[in-house]
Every structure is written in C-alpha cells, then in structure tokens.
C-alpha cells in the first residue's frame, strides 16, 4: 500500500516536535478538535505533523480528561524548508484581510509574515492579534498539506521592519513606480536565499515611506496599469513569487 492510500481521508493533527515511536500529548486545541469535533476514538489512525518537515502515520493511544495521547508509527513524508525563503511585510488591513492573506501565504509557500503598521494604516492590532493569525495559519497548513509552518512575527512599524530585515532581494509595490515591474527585478536563475516583498495598505505607501524603503535597499515596482486593492497586490506578489521561484522546482516532490 503506498503512502497516498495510507493517509487518504485521515485527519491531520499538529504535534510539534513529535518523534517516531514515542507517545505524545496533543495540545488542548488539537485535542479538542480530535475528541469533540471529529469524535475520533482510541486506536483510530491519524496523520501527525512535527512542524519541522515530517509527516507521520500515527494512532490514538489514549483519550482521557488530560487530553489525547498519540503515537507516530511510520514516516510518510519529509520535506526540506522551501528555498528561497519568501518573507512578506504585510500591512494591517481592514476587515479580515490580513488573516486571509496569512492563509494564502501558507498555501503559496511564504516562509515568514511580518505584520507592519504604515503611515496610512487605519486599523490597530486588536487583542490576541498574533495568536489569531497563528491559528489561521495552522488551519491553512493542515488543509494545504504543507509541512513547515509559516512564521508570524509581532507587528512592527514599517520603517523598523524595513531597517531590520536582511535579504538578497527586497521588493516593494509602489503605485508611483511607472517604469519597473516585477519582470525587471525577479530572476528565477539568480541564487537568492531570501527575498522580501511588501505592498501598501488601503491608500498605499506614502512618499516618505517609499523613500525609507529605497534607503533600506528595497526596489520599487509597479503592478500594471490598474489600481490594485491592497489585498490583491499582496496576493499578486505571493502568486508571482511562487510561480517564479517554486513552480518549476517543487511539483515533482509532492508525494501524494
């Protein structure tokens, strides 16, 4: 029986740091999902992710009030972290758009998201801001079958984040950039290890912010002839980055 068959239809649970052959106590969120939402029973087979590139076939050892004990029985799949590392400085956005972008960042192979507060950012980080984004990222990870988690930082000011970040290539979408596009700055063949992207909030980056970004080594690019909404711009950058850096490389590594 191949791995696809073994894992087909089985529910997936996060078990950070789990090792083959050992028992492991699921965290309260995962335990709740297993016991109360999916109502699985002792002895049933499940999939366990160690959040460090490994996916195991496992089983439920014990269900009790303390939580759910599971065991990893067989390695199903192993992945290296995606290269290059894609980092997105994402502006806080109205409605639930930042959480939506975090979900998409997981699906599209982004390594790290740094929420940024810009001059024209209207919304403020609410209670449990980072925890909520992390929850959305975990759900997305299980759904899309990614094995390495998206790192989510605490919110920074844009200028602070821009000054601190170290990368081989830094790109920002700017509506006043009329000459260069992504085509001019992305090169699939260049040996970059880390690429940073950012795009503005509703209303875009201010001229002062564009100046700071340029001083920090970010290259400005335009996104075409139409005005993209803030969430569209970020999604567009993620999609094109995925296409440029991953589409030709990683397809054949998918094991099911």
Instruction: Give contact residues for a copy of itself (rule: CB under 8 A).
Output: 79, 103-104, 106-109, 143-146, 178-179, 181-184, 222-229, 232, 235-236, 239-240, 242-243, 246-248, 250-254
- For the bound state, the minimum distance from the C-beta of residue 160 to a copy of itself, rounded and expressed in Å, comes to 29
| Structure letter (DSSP) for residue 37 | I
Q: Which is nearer to a copy of itself, 59 or 180 (CB)?
A: 180
For a copy of itself, which is the closer residue by CB, 41 or 178? 178
Q: Give helix then strand counts, H and E, for the chain.
A: 8, 12
Rg of the chain over CA atoms, in angstroms? 20
Smaller CB distance to a copy of itself: residue 15 or 233?
233
Closest CA to 117 of 157, 69, 76, 165: 157
Q: Which is nearer to a copy of itself, 165 or 171 (CB)?
A: 171
Among candidate residues 177, 171, 165, 180, the one with its CA nearest the CA of residue 218: 171
Min. distance of Cβ 223 from a copy of itself in angstroms? Answer: 8
For every residue of 57-82, DSSP letters joined together read: EEEEEEEETTEEEEEEEEEEEE-PPP
For residues 27 and 219, which CB has a smaller minimum distance to a copy of itself in the complex?
Answer: 219
Report, in Å, the least distance between residue 106 CB and a copy of itself: 8
CA distance 67 to 105: 31
Across the strands, what pairs with 58? 46, 72
Q: How far is the CB of 88 from a copy of itself (least distance, A)?
A: 14
User: If residue 142 lies in a helix (H) or strand (E), which one and from where to where?
Assistant: helix 129-144
Q: Nearest distance from residue 4's CB to a copy of itself, in Å?
A: 11
CB of 127 to a copy of itself, least distance (A): 26
Q: Are 161 and 216 in contact (CB under 8 A)?
A: no
Nearer to a copy of itself by Cβ, of 73 and 181: the residue is 181
CB atoms within 10 A of CB 164: 10
């Amino acid at each position: 029986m191949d791995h696809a068959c073994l894992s087909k239809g089985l529910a997936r649970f996060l078990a950070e740091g789990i090792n083959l052959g050992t028992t492991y106590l699921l965290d309260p969120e995962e335990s709740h999902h297993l016991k109360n939402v999916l109502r699985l029973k002792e002895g049933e087979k499940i999939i366990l992710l160690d959040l460090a590139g490994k996916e195991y076939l496992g089983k439920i050892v014990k269900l009790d009030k303390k939580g759910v004990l599971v065991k990893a029985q067989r390695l199903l799949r192993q992945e290296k972290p995606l290269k290059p590392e894609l980092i997105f400085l994402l502006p806080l956005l109205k409605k639930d758009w930042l959480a939506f972008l975090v979900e998409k960042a997981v699906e599209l192979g982004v390594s790290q998201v740094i929420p940024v507060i810009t001059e024209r950012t209207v919304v403020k980080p609410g209670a449990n801001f980072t925890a909520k984004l992390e929850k959305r990222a975990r759900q997305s990870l299980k759904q899309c079958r990614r094995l390495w988690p998206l790192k989510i930082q605490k919110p920074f000011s844009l200028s602070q984040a821009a000054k601190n970040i170290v990368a081989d290539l830094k790109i920002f979408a700017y509506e006043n950039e009329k000459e260069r596009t992504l085509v001019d700055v992305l090169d699939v063949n260049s040996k970059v290890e880390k690429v940073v992207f950012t795009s503005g909030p509703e209303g875009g980056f201010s001229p002062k912010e564009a100046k700071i970004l340029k001083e920090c080594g970010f290259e400005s690019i335009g996104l075409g002839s139409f005005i993209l909404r803030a969430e569209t711009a970020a999604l567009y950058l993620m999609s094109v980055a995925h296409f440029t850096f991953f589409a030709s490389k990683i397809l054949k590594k998918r094991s099911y």
